[in-house]
Amino acid sequence: MRSRMIFAALALIMVLQTGVASITSARAAELNVYSHRQPFLINPFLKAFEEKTGTKVNVVFASKGLVQRLLAEGQRSPADVVLTVDIGRLYAYADKNLFAKVTSPKLSQNIPAHLRDVDNRWFGLSKRARVVAISRDRVKPSEVQKIEDLADPKWKGRVCSRPGSHVYNRALLASIIAAHGKETAEEWARGLVANMARRPQGNDRAQVKAIFEGVCDVAIINSYYYGKLKTSKVPAQRKWAEAIQIVFTNQNDRGNHVNISGGGVAVHSKNKARAVKLLEFLTEKTAQDLYGRINYEFPVNPMVEAGPEVKSWGTFKEDQQPISRIATLIPVAQRVIDRVGW
Ligand SMILES: [Fe+2]
């Protein structure tokens, strides 16, 4: 009787211990992601990661203010991974020491060197080309060879663009500064502004709409918006897309400027190894395919092919200047943008 009681007590202890262990590991197998990227974009990736690894991923979405939040939280921050778009934003996190240095042969292998930080603090996860959209009816593709061409007086009153101080345009201008120096780039920006059909306004989609409406003939947009508009559930947006085609610029010299979406491991993460696993997962085939299928972006991993829609636009030569160099020129670009009133 007594030995039976001891056995029952031991069994109970074991059950309790197993229970505690599984709760602890369930708690430990979590990651907190701070994301500038919209839920519809990032959730399918995180779901795939959860399914593969069993790690639960919690997400805080915010279009703005995550740098300030991380700074304010300091060491108490629950963030493990930060995901965002644009080289300038990634650079801002690194600049404020909010990213940890990461050693990962997998990330080094899957991401070309010019699309990641030399100090391994941030990593490009997908690419987007900043291209020229042209009217199918009113412009021949051969008329726009280089981004520099848009400053030619021949385009007077025919160019549309969102405001220059948007991160996408800032990075584009920074890439032109990197290629030609500040003076030449400023002259270009002045010429571009002089050619505008209207005051810079709206987002990239609005520029395509303006071409459709005949407001302008050429515009600067990110490549994925073409895919989004072409396949939009809104019939009017598909019409806008039908009115344009996209031109990859500078194919005979440095290549078309590309920007990235990317991420890094939060400096105060308590789960750094697991955080690196998520970044690695995002550079592997499953996730790299999703970037193309969900948002019409280009994979960074050279071993992964672009999705069918993206592929239909043709291959192109990209500007291989290290994106980190472009990032350092963004403040210079912003001053030029202010001076020329873009
Ligand atoms: Fe965008």
In a domain, 21, yes or no: no
**Number of domains comprising the chain:** 2
Residue 161 Cα to ligand 1 middle (Å):
14
pLDDT in tens, the chain (342 residues): 455 554 444 444 444 444 433 333 445 599 999 999 888 889 999 999 999 999 999 999 988 899 999 999 999 999 999 999 999 899 999 999 999 999 999 999 999 999 999 999 999 999 999 999 999 999 999 999 999 999 999 999 999 999 999 999 999 999 999 999 999 999 999 999 999 999 999 999 999 999 999 999 999 999 999 999 999 999 999 999 999 999 999 999 999 999 999 999 999 999 999 999 999 999 999 999 999 999 999 999 999 999 999 999 999 999 999 998 999 999 999 999 999 999
Contact 63, 252 (CB under 8 A): no
| Gap from CA of 140 to ligand 1 centroid (Å) | 26
CATH of the domain at 252: 3.40.190.10
Find the 324 Cα to ligand 1 centroid distance in Å: 20
Å from CA of 224 to ligand 1 middle: 8
Are 335 and 207 part of one and the same domain? yes
Going from the Cα of 18 to the center of ligand 1, the distance in angstroms, rounded, reads 47
CA 141/CA 124 separation, integer angstroms: 30
Whole-number pLDDT of residue 7: 47
118 and 140 inside one domain? no
Do 232 and 276 fall into the same domain? no
Contacts by residues 69-76 (CB-CB < 8 Å, ≥ 24 positions apart): 69/34, 70/34, 70/96, 70/98, 70/266, 71/96, 71/98, 73/268, 74/268, 75/268, 76/268
What is the whole-number distance in angstroms between the Cα of residue 264 and the centre of ligand 1?
19
Q: Distance from the CA of 5 to the center of ligand 1, in angstroms?
A: 67
Within this chain, do residues 117 and 226 fall inside the same structural domain, yes or no?
A: no
Q: Are residues 194 and 289 in the same domain?
A: no
User: Do 333 and 204 share a structural domain?
Assistant: yes
Cα 99 to ligand 1 centroid, rounded to whole Å:
23
Amino acid 41: pLDDT = 86
Both 152 and 299 in one domain: the answer is no
CA of 222 to the centre of ligand 1 (A): 7
Distance from residue 221's CA to the centre of ligand 1 (Å): 9
3-class secondary-structure state, position 282: helix
Instruction: Tell me the pTM.
Output: 0.87
At residue 104, the pLDDT reads 97
Residue 65: domain span? 30-127+258-309
Per-residue confidence (pLDDT) for residue 262, from 0 to 100 = 97
Cα(181) to centroid of ligand 1, in Å? 27
- The number of C-alpha atoms within 13 Å of 267 and in the hemisphere containing its C-beta is 14
**Size (the chain), residues:** 342
Question: What is the per-residue pLDDT for 37?
Answer: 87
Is 24 part of a structural domain of the chain? Answer: no
CA 133 to chain centre: 20
Ligand 1 centroid from CA 62, angstroms: 15
Quote the ligand 1 centre to 295 CA distance (angstroms).
10
Ligand 1 centroid–CA 242 distance in Å is 20
How far does residue 48's CA lie from ligand 1's centre (Å)? 23
188 and 332 part of one domain: yes
What pLDDT, on the 0 to 100 scale, is given for residue 313?
A: 95
Question: What is residue 63's predicted lDDT score, i.e. its pLDDT?
Answer: 83
In the reported structure, the alpha carbon of residue 88 is separated from the centroid of ligand 1 by a whole-number distance in angstroms of: 14
Distance from the alpha carbon of residue 28 to the mean position of ligand 1, in angstroms: 34
Distance 167 CA to ligand 1 centre (A): 10
251, two tokens: 């194919």
Identify the pLDDT of residue 2: 52
Cα–ligand 1 centroid distance for 76 (angstroms): 31
Domain presence at residue 167: yes
Q: What is the DSSP letter of 132?
A: E
| 15 within domain boundaries | no
